[in-house]
Amino acid sequence: MEKTSLLEELLALEERQRLKELRKLNEEERKEFAYQWRLWARNAQLPPDAEWRIWLILAGRGFGKTRAGSEWVRAMAAQDPEARIALVAASLGEARAIMVEGDSGLLAVCPPLAYPDFEPSLRRLTWPNGAIATLYSAAEPEGLRGPQNSHAFRTGPEGSICE
């Protein structure tokens, strides 16, 4: 079976059946589809289908809020080379440790051919197509004044917000 048609078939399945079928994939197929987030995500981890300005994920530990936000940022960066994305956390250290370098952070979810260059001293990730994400601290809100961000992803103990 052709990979594209298998991908389309899997995406067409209901969530429960899709996740069941994914468990049957061999190692080669898993590697091939590893970066196809829509295959692995639960429906609640995907952005709303309708047009939205703010998407709030209010959920407990282990839900996958950071992964959902990282995948959304990755998609925005891939779609728009002009994207300027604000990554906001309680502190710069938290932004780096969780949103960028964490198990579900941006460096973990980006495929090798679309891997961003992370410049910690500049608090910046730059994707091969030119999209840029900058880290900000919620403790220093004035830092968000001035930059013209097209998108934002904020994470904290109360949930994750994408806009």
Question: What is the pTM assigned to this prediction?
Answer: 0.88
Residue 35 sits in the same domain as residue 53: no
Q: Residue with structure tokens 């579900």?
A: 104
Residue 19 sits in the same domain as residue 76: no
Residue 71 sits in which domain range?
45-162
Residue 77 sits in the same domain as residue 22: no
Quick: pLDDT tens for 68-123.
999 999 999 999 999 999 999 999 999 999 999 999 999 999 999 999 999 999 99
Smallest CA-to-CA distance from 40 within 80, 78, 4, 68 is with 68
Residue 36 sits in the same domain as residue 49: no
Residue 110 sits in the same domain as residue 65: yes
Residue 19 sits in the same domain as residue 68: no
- Higher-pLDDT residue of 43 and 101 is 101
- Read off the pLDDT band of 31 (50, 70, 90): confident
Residue 121 sits in the same domain as residue 136: yes
Cβ atoms 163, 151 nearer than 8 A: yes
What CA–CA distance (Å, rounded) separates 104 from 70?
Answer: 7
Residue 126 sits in the same domain as residue 77: yes
In DSSP terms, 118 is beta-bridged to 125
Residue 43 neighbours by CB distance under 10 Å: 10
Residue 128 sits in the same domain as residue 78: yes
